[in-house]
C-alpha cells in the first residue's frame, strides 16, 4: 500500500496534464500512486498516461470526480491536485508530516503560487460572508509567506491532503466551485498550511476564462446552497444580499446577454435547492460556521486591494 494516493480530475487537459504528471513523478518523495479521473474529455488526454485512469463518458464534475478517485485510492493519505498545476519538489513530505503528527489536523495544504513561483496566489483560503472563497495574501511576493505552519479557514482544491479513512467526500450537489467552503465548514478538525509545500497553478483550463458561463453559473448557484446549509438566519440574509450585489457587479463588468442568462439560471437553481439543504445542519453547527467567515468589511477591503472593486 502506498503512503499517498494523488487524485487528479481531468477535463480536456492535453495542454497541461503531461506537465502536471511529470512534476508529480519527479517531485513526490513518499511512496505514491496517481489516479487520473477523466471526466468525458474529448481530446484523448487521458490515454497513455503514467497513472491509473478512471474514465467517465459524461462530465461528472469536480466534486464527484474527486470522490470517485478517493474511493479507488489505496494510500493512507489522499491528495487532490489540480490537473493544470505543477507541484514543487518535496511538496508531499511537510503535509504528510502534519497529518501524521497532529490528530487535530483534518486537512493539510500548501502554498498556491503563480507559474513562475514568484507570487502568492493563496496562503489558504478565507470564506467571505456570501460563502465565496478567496486566497489569503493573493498577489503578494512569495517572500511574504509565513515562515512555518499556520491554521487557515479552508484549503484550495488545487492542493488538499486528507487521511483517506476520514474523508467523507465533497458534496456532489455542488459539482464544482464551492466544494472547498462546504467541506471546510463540515469537517471536524483543523486545516493547516505548511509553507514548505507549494504548487504552481494556472487558472482556467477546466472552465475557460475568468469571465465565462461556467464561472458565473456555478458560483452563483453554489453560494446560495452553502449559505442555506451553513448559516444562521441573520448571516443567511446578509449572505444572499451580498451575493446579489456581487453578481450585479459581475454583470456590469461583463455586460453581455449570455452572462445575465448564466447568473439568472444560477440564482433560479440555487433558490430552488435552498429549502432542501437547509435541513442538513443544526443551529449549533450553523453558529459555528458563521464564526469562521470574515467580515464584510474585510472581504470588500481585500477585493479593493486587488483592484477588483473600486472605492
Global pTM reads 0.94
> Among candidates 51, 75, 48, 80, which has minimal Cα distance to 63?
80
**Helix, coil or strand: residue 309:** coil
What is d(CA 176, CA 62) in angstroms, rounded to the nearest whole number?
5
- Domains located in the chain, CATH noted: 4-201 (3.90.550.10), 213-305 (no CATH)
What pLDDT does 209 receive? 59
What pLDDT does 204 receive? 56
The residues, ordered by sequence, that sit 6+ positions from 220 with a Cβ below 8 Å of its Cβ are 243, 247, 262, 263, 266, 267, 270
Q: Identify the bridge partners of residue 190 per DSSP, sorted by sequence position.
A: 105
What pLDDT does 17 receive? 96
- E strands present in 14-145: 32-39, 52-56, 77-81, 85-87, 105-113, 120-122, 125-127, 133-135
What pLDDT does 205 receive? 59
What pLDDT does 253 receive? 85
What pLDDT does 3 receive? 98
What pLDDT does 181 receive? 98
**Helix, coil or strand: residue 16:** coil
Q: Extract the C-alpha cell encoding 295.
A: 467580515
Q: Identify the bridge partners of residue 135 per DSSP, sorted by sequence position.
A: 125
Residues 153, 203, 265: CA angle, nearest 5 degrees: 80
What is d(CA 250, CA 240) in angstroms, rounded to the nearest whole number?
15
Give the pLDDT of the chain (311 residues) as one tens digit per residue.
999 999 999 999 999 999 999 999 999 999 999 999 999 999 999 999 999 999 999 999 999 999 999 999 999 999 999 999 999 999 999 999 999 999 999 999 999 999 999 999 999 999 999 999 999 999 999 999 999 999 999 999 999 999 999 999 999 999 999 999 999 999 999 999 999 999 999 765 555 556 789 999 999 999 999 999 999 999 999 999 999 999 998 888 888 999 999 999 999 999 999 999 999 999 999 999 999 999 999 999 998 998 887 65
Which stretch of DSSP H or E encloses residue 286?
A: helix 283-290
Amino acid at each position: 500500500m502506498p503512503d499517498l494516493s494523488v487524485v487528479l480530475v481531468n477535463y480536456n487537459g492535453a495542454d497541461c496534464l503531461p506537465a502536471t504528471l511529470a512534476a508529480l513523478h519527479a517531485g513526490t518523495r513518499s511512496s505514491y500512486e496517481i489516479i487520473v479521473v477523466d471526466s468525458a474529455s474529448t481530446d484523448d488526454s487521458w490515454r497513455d498516461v503514467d497513472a491509473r485512469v478512471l474514465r467517465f463518458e459524461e462530465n461528472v464534475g469536480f466534486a464527484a470526480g474527486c470522490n470517485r478517485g478517493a474511493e479507488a485510492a489505496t494510500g493512507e493519505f489522499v491528495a487532490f491536485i489540480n490537473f493544470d498545476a505543477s507541484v514543487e519538489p518535496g511538496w508531499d513530505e511537510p503535509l504528510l508530516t502534519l497529518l501524521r503528527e497532529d490528530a487535530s489536523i483534518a486537512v493539510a495544504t500548501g502554498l498556491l503560487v503563480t507559474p513562475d513561483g514568484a507570487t502568492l496566489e493563496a496562503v489558504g483560503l478565507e470564506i467571505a460572508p456570501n460563502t465565496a472563497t478567496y486566497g489569503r495574501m493573493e498577489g503578494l511576493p512569495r517572500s511574504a509567506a509565513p515562515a512555518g505552519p499556520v491554521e487557515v479557514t479552508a484549503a484550495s482544491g488545487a492542493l488538499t491532503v486528507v487521511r483517506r479513512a476520514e474523508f467523507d467526500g465533497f458534496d456532489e450537489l455542488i459539482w464544482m466551485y464551492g466544494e472547498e467552503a462546504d467541506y471546510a465548514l463540515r469537517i471536524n478538525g483543523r486545516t493547516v498550511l505548511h509553507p514548505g509545500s507549494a504548487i504552481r497553478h494556472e487558472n482556467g483550463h477546466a472552465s475557460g476564462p475568468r469571465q465565462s458561463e461556467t464561472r458565473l453559473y456555478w458560483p452563483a448557484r453554489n453560494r446560495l446552497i452553502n449559505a442555506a446549509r451553513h448559516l444562521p438566519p441573520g448571516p443567511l440574509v446578509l449572505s444572499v444580499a451580498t451575493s446579489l450585489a456581487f453578481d450585479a457587479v459581475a454583470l456590469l463588468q461583463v455586460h453581455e446577454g449570455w452572462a445575465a442568462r448564466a447568473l439568472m439560471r444560477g440564482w433560479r437553481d440555487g433558490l430552488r435547492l435552498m429549502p432542501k439543504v437547509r435541513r442538513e445542519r443544526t443551529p449549533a453547527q450553523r453558529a459555528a460556521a458563521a464564526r469562521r467567515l470574515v467580515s464584510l468589511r474585510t472581504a470588500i477591503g481585500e477585493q479593493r486591494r486587488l483592484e477588483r472593486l473600486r472605492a
